[in-house]
Amino acid sequence: MDPGQITFLADLVALRRDLHAHPELAFAETRTAALVADELARYGVEVHRGLARTGVVGVLRQGSSGRAIGLRADMDALPLSEENAFAHCSRTPGLMHACGHDGHTAMLLGAARYLAGQRGLGSFDGTVYFIFQPAEESEGGAQVMVAEGLFEKFPMDAVFGLHNWPGLPVGEMAVVAGPVMAGTCAFEIDVQGTGCHAAMPHQGVDTLLVASHLVIALQSIVARNIHPCESAVISVTQVHGGEAWNILPERAILRGTIRSFDLAMQERLERLVERQCDGIGRAFGARLSVHFDRRYPPTVNSSPETDICRQVAGELLGRDKVRADELPSMGAEDFAYMLHEKPGCYVWLGNGPGSGGCTLHNPRYDFNDEILPLGVAYWIRLVETLLPGAMRGARTGSG
């Protein structure tokens, strides 16, 4: 189907803007989940609620092939104060949809509505699971859904995800096999020294001086230890220490993030961080301890499924509009947990310059409603390609 065939676009825009006006944080998406469940039921889709607390799974069956696929959208918002002034801006102080999950939810609901309306016409043969996942932003809702039996309760052959991407033009998609998003690990370094009067630094062990050397050393690890053709990032994002202008503090804390595309690299980077901490601690006479908190693993697309997604995107948008140079990204995505269990593919859909040219996680960001029909059409074409029915076979000359 073509994007122009979506006759209910006005409904989707209204739904998306309603979601934007009512953002909810991880595992608290009660209103959003209720809206999703009600919409699915209205379309005649079988509804399952309660997986990962606020997750919703819609089930649409047709034919007898036994094949099944999952399509996933995320639902949660961010703890960010919106700075837009349009009519559908957030009505909840301190919360906003700054990553486009409102749009992702609307697009998947649009695909469910269209496919449910085609039931009995042979548009597909198999089962489609519409997965509305809570808590993508840092809380690992996908991991919880998997742990609570997503793939046992809803057995599927493959699973697919989509994310809007500001800066990628409208009408373009980014699709690549292999690593597509990085794994992420948070770290915290506790620096213990000896506090003293700032006028007599020789009487203490200056934890802020140690922290300063650590910032430079840690952010030099990748440049001088990792092959230039490999990808990794270490960023120190917080330094805390001291409360008075005339006291050298007893303690300082550094925090940051490590990003890489495979577990072996992650482990190597952790050992290098520990080595730098040990060396600098010895040099200055400070006591350092490091804690690593591995968050999302790398998001890795399987090749066969990626080839199909690239084919579908090319049919929808034109081959020259399917990009591979935009990916991979050092951002992280908890869809990785689903791809760890099942083959599948995660793609980017161009969101254009966005509201004022804003990127994701910006207080002035807004999802571009112009791409709603493109996302819906992509999902529908993917279903019809992976689960071909009589209608698809007749159209392509197969079967």
Across 274-290, average pLDDT = 97
Contact 35, 52 (CB under 8 A): no
pLDDT of residue 80: 97
pLDDT of residue 124: 96
Q: How far apart are CA 160 and CA 302, in angstroms?
A: 11
pLDDT of residue 349: 97
Q: What is the pLDDT of residues 114-149, one digit of tens each?
A: 999 998 888 899 999 999 999 999 899 999 999 999
Total-model pTM: 0.91
Q: Provide the pLDDT confidence category of residue 226 given band limits of 50, 70 and 90.
A: very high
Closest residue by Cα to residue 259 from 235, 233, 238, 236: 233
pLDDT of residue 398: 32
pLDDT of residue 119: 86
Residue 395 has pLDDT above 50, yes or no: no
Q: How far apart are CA 6 and CA 111, in angstroms?
A: 10
pLDDT of residue 356: 56
Contact 258, 220 (CB under 8 A): no
Kindly report the average pLDDT of the chain as a whole number: 95
Q: Between the CA of residue 78 and those of 7, 21, 55, 360, what are the distances in Å? A: 31, 13, 17, 11
At 277, the amino acid letter reads: C
Residue 396 has pLDDT above 80, yes or no: no
Tokens 């699971």 belong to 129
Residue 399 has pLDDT above 50, yes or no: no
Q: What is the pLDDT of residues 92-118, one digit of tens each?
A: 999 999 999 999 999 999 999 999 999
Instruction: Delimit the domains of the chain by residue range.
Output: 3-181+298-396, 183-294
pLDDT of residue 374: 98
Closest residue by Cα to residue 51 from 143, 138, 158: 143
Tokens 């122009």 belong to 4
Q: Provide the pLDDT confidence category of residue 358 given band limits of 50, 70 and 90.
A: confident
Q: 3-181+298-396 maps to which CATH number?
A: 3.40.630.10
Q: What is the pLDDT of residues 334-356, one digit of tens each?
A: 999 999 999 999 999 999 985 55
Across 286-313, average pLDDT = 97
pLDDT of residue 353: 81
Between CA 225 and CA 293, with CA 335 as vertex, the angle to 5 degrees is 45
Tokens representing 191 are 């620096």
CA of residue 7 relative to chain centroid, distance: 29
* Sequence-distant (≥ 6) Cβ neighbours of residue 21 within 8 angstroms: 88, 89, 90, 91
Q: What is the pLDDT of residues 155-193, one digit of tens each?
A: 999 999 999 999 999 999 999 999 999 999 999 999 999
Q: Provide the pLDDT confidence category of residue 391 given band limits of 50, 70 and 90.
A: low
Domain 183-294 has CATH 1.10.10.10: no
